[in-house]
Amino acid sequence: MLFGLDGVEIGLIIVILCLFGGILSGFPVAFAIGGAAVISFGIIAALDSAGILVAQAIDTGSAAYDALLAQGIHPDAISHFRYPDLPTVTTALFPQGWETAMDRNISFIVNRMNERVFAGQSIETLLAVLMFVLMGITLERSKIANDLLTTMARVFGPMPGGLAVSVVVVGAFLAASTGIVGATVVTMGLLSLPTMLRNKYSPELATGVIAASGTLGQIIPPSIIIVLLGTLAGDIYATAQETRAQLAGCPDALTYLGQAAVVSVGTLFQAAILPGVLLALLYAAYAFGYALLNPDKAPPVIDAGARGRRKGSALTWFLAAPAGVIGLALLLEATGIAGSQDVGVSRYTSTAESASLRTNVSDQCKASMIELHGQSKWDK
C-alpha cells in the first residue's frame, strides 16, 4: 500500500487532481473532463501494472465470511465498509488487467450512447426539451420578454433597488417559461443591463442580479435540467431498488416495496417548485436590502412617461381591477349564473378493499417486508 492508502483511494485522488488540472488548463469543460478521464486512467493503469497500486479485497475463503453467509446475508451485501473486521487479501487494482477494464468501460460508453443519443428520440419525456427551446425562441422573437421587463420596471422602479427586483421577477418568469439558463441570462443581459447602468446602478449589483436570476431556470419548473435529470434518475432509482429487493431476498422491487420503483419528472417538478420560488424571493429581498443600505448604488427610478398620467391610474389597475373581477365572480355565483364550487360528492360506489402487499413470498422476503412496512400492514 502506498502512503498507507488503498489503491482505490489513491486512484480517486489521481482522478480529482487530473480533473482539477484539466479545468484550470483553459480548455473547454467538455474536453477537460474527457481528457482528465483518459489521463487519469492511463496513470492508474501504469501504476497497477507496475504493482504499486494494490487493493484490499475481502477473503471469501475465510471462516468469518462463511459465517455471514450462514446467517442468510446476501454475498453482494458483504463489503469491507459494512464489516471492517473481515479478513482481507491483497489483490491488483485491475484483477484481470487494465485491458479488460478498458474494454468494459468502452462497452459501457457505447451502450449509454446507444440508449441516450441514438435511441433518445424514442423517449417521450425528452420531447419537452424541444418544446422548451421553441418556447424560448418564441419569447425572444415576439418581444414578450422586453415588454414584461418594461412593465415590471414601471411597477418596481420607484422603490429602492426596483430595477434589480424587476430583473429577478422577470428572470423567474422567463425561467418558468423557457427552462433554459443560457437564454435567460443572455436575454436579461441585453435588455436590463444597459438600463440599470444608465440609471446609475453599480455594475456589481447589475451583473450579479442578472447572473443569479438567470440561474433560476435550473430549478424553477418546468426546467430542461430537471427533465434530463429525471430520465437519468428514474433509471438509477429503479436499478437501485431492484438491487435492494434482491438483497432483501425478494424477487423484485414491486413485491418488496408494494409499489412501482419509479421517479417521474412530475415528482421532481413538484419538489422543485417551493425551493425555486423561495430562491427568487431571497434574491429580490437581497436586492431590496442592498439598495436600502447603499442608496447611491441602486437609486429608485421614476418612469418619465408615467409622470403625466392620471394619478389614479395605478390604483385603478392594481387595486380596483382585481377587486372588480372578484366582486363579479361572487355576484355571478350568488345569482346562480356561475356554477357551484361545492366539491361534495352526492353518491359513490363502495369497492372492496384489497391488499397492498404481495404475501406469497419466501420466509426471508417476508421478514424483510415486515421490517420495512410493519406487522400490521403485512397482516392486513
For residues 5 and 91, the answer to whether their CB atoms sit within 8 Å is no
pLDDT band at 69 (very low <50, low <70, confident <90, very high): confident
- The predicted-structure confidence for 269-327, as pLDDT tens digits, reads as follows 888 888 888 998 999 899 889 988 988 888 887 764 444 444 445 545 556 667 777 88
| Distance, CA of 278 to CA of 284 (rounded, Å) | 10
Average pLDDT of the segment spanning 92-116: 81
For the chain, give the secondary structure using H, E and C: CECCECHHHHHHHHHHHHHHHHHHCCCCHHHHHHHHHHHHHHHHHHHHHCCCCEEEEECCCCHHHHHHHHCCCCHHHCCCCCCCCCCEEEEECCCCCHHHHHHHHHHHHHHHHHHHHHCHHHCHHHHHHHHHHHHHHHHHHCCHHHHHHHHHHHHHCCCCCHHHHHHHHHHHHHHHHHCCHHHHHHHHHHHHHHHHHHCCCCHHHHHHHHHHHHHHHHCCCCCHHHHHHHHHHHHHHHHHHHHHHHHCCCCCHHHHHCCCCCCCHHHHHHHHHHHHHHHHHHHHHHHHHHHHHCCCCCCCCCCHHHCCCCCCHHHHHHHHHHHHHHHHHHHHHHCCCCCCCCCCCCCCCCCCCCCCCCCCCCHHHHHHHHHHHCHHHHHC
- The band of 198, judged by pLDDT with boundaries at 50, 70 and 90, is confident
Q: Can you tell me the distance from the alpha carbon of 305 to that of 297, in angstroms, rounded to the nearest whole number?
A: 23
311-356 pLDDT, tens digit each: 445 545 556 667 777 888 778 777 767 665 565 656 666 555 566 7
Cβ–Cβ under 8 Å, residues 174 and 145 = yes
Which of 209, 172, 188, 191 has its CA nearest to residue 297? Answer: 209
Model confidence at 120, pLDDT cuts 50, 70, 90, reads low
Percent of the chain whose pLDDT exceeds 90: 6
Cβ–Cβ < 8 Å for 18, 43? yes
Q: At 121, list the grid cell.
A: 428520440
Least confident window among 47-56, 162-171, 338-347, 361-370: 338-347
Average pLDDT over the chain, rounded to an integer: 79
Q: In this model, does residue 17 exceed pLDDT 90?
A: yes
Distance CA 174, CA 139 (A): 9
Q: How far apart are CA 11 and CA 17, in angstroms?
A: 10
Cβ-contact 243, 144 below 8 angstroms: no
